Homo-oligomer: A and B are copies of this chain.
Amino acid sequence: MRIGIPSWDDIRAAAGCLEGKAHRTPVLTSAGIDALAGARLFFKCENFQRSGAFKFRGAYHAVSRLSPEEARRGVLTHSSGNHAAALALAASLRGIPAHIVMPSNASIAKRRAVEAYGGQIVLCEPTLAAREETAKRVFRETGAALVHPYDDPAVIAGQGTVALELIEQEPDLDFIIAPVSGGGLISGIALAAAAWPNIELLAAEPEQADDAFQSLRAGRLVRPASTDTIADGLRASLSERTFSVIQRRVREIITVSEAEIIAAMRLLWERMKLVIEPSSATPLAAVLKRRERFQGSRAGLMLTGGNVDLDALPWQARRNG
């Protein structure tokens, strides 16, 4: 099987395709958080991206590359959240149906988002087997094109555009740090940042869903022992494709605890006034945990999304028991 990996030119082309369609999200800074970190931190606010997450980049790009004939049959995915909403929005912008296979335990906020964009939800049991089986059934019934959340070259190329944009906005970065889950974002960033070899690329991952960390250490794909993390966007695991890019280009994966994620999340809400989801807090948690590594540097941190249930924030849960 040929493993398709987008080239730098593919990512440039994806950036052209997204121009005027995706938001050019702002890069924000905080003197207070810089003082805490001992570094200059540049937060790329993809929580302000359309559909509330960077996922719109990959989804829109993948949808735009379907032939008219393919597009007519619609698109299909199985996703626990942000990719689902992003694909529903991207499909609605092209005027085609999106069939979204979601586990029955997906958060209400994320289900509502998919519905708001006109996506058609097909619920299934919350197991990988049930998701794949249900997706196959929908495919048999509709012929819709599967747009995988991350194991798809067009999706990876779309996600990579965020790095081109960040580097254009902040040219002198020493680091770029992004969360890793299935690896679509970090491998897109790695391929995009290849033109800037001085930028060190790091990933942040929850200790409680650390398959990327384990895989990089073992030198082969390791299935996660658990995915029980509050960072609900980071429960997927790498594919051969994304792992192969990560292995070559990502210097280190820094794992962070649940408490570190929640503390960093609260800091971003309080000091920077940003509604971000727990996944987005992992890069800051990593920087604060490993201060010495970033001392005096300029680091770009990906805030990947802002889709949280405002009625169930982590600090509420902690307070109320």
Inside 8 A of A266's CB, which chain B residues have their CB?
Answer: 310
* CB pair B270 A273 closer than 8 Å: no
Are B306 and A311 interface neighbours, CB within 8 A? Answer: no
Contact B50 A31 (CB under 8 A): yes
Query: Cβ of A254 < 8 Å from any Cβ of B?
Result: no
Contacts of A272 in B (CB 8 A): 48
CA distance A315 to B28 in the complex (A): 27
Chain B residue nearest to A46 (CB atoms) is B273
Contact A310 B313 (CB under 8 A): yes
Residue of B48, B50, B52, B270 touching A310 (CB-CB under 8 A): B270
Number of identical protomers: 2
0 or 1 for each of A13-29: is its CB under 8 Å from B? (1 = yes): 00000000001001011
Inter-chain contacts of A276 with B (CB < 8 A): 273
Q: Which of B28, B50, B274, B311 contacts A275 (CB 8 A)?
A: B274
Distance in angstroms between the alpha carbons of A28 and B24 in the assembled complex: 10
CB <8 Å contact, A273 and B52:
yes
Interface flag for A140 (CB, 8 Å)? no
**In the complex, A47 has a CB within 8 A of chain B:** yes
